[in-house]
Amino acid sequence: MNAKEIRELNLAELNKKLADLKDDLFHLRFQHAINQLDNPMRIVAVKKDIARVQTIIREKEISDSAEA
């Protein structure tokens, strides 16, 4: 998922996406701990997606407060 796709989502959808990504990260870490993870680089990709979503959520919060 790239930043352009994420920016098109509204705040509620972003929060849901963030929760889903954190859940995915939890499951990936659990699989890694019990040596059942096929692609450990997926953990890195999910972390980057979480950071992208959090950044865009913060940008939207700042732009909303600046408009008010």
pLDDT of residue 15: 97
Q: Would you state the structure tokens that stand for residue 12, as one six-digit string?
A: 């509620």
pLDDT of residue 44: 97
Consecutive 10-residue averages of pLDDT for the chain (68 residues):
90 97 98 95 97 96 88
Closest to 7 in 3D by CA, of 45, 63, 67, 68: 63
Q: How is the chain split into domains, by residue range? A: 3-67
- What number does CATH give the domain 3-67? 1.10.287.310
Give the integer Cα–Cα distance in Å for 7 and 1: 11
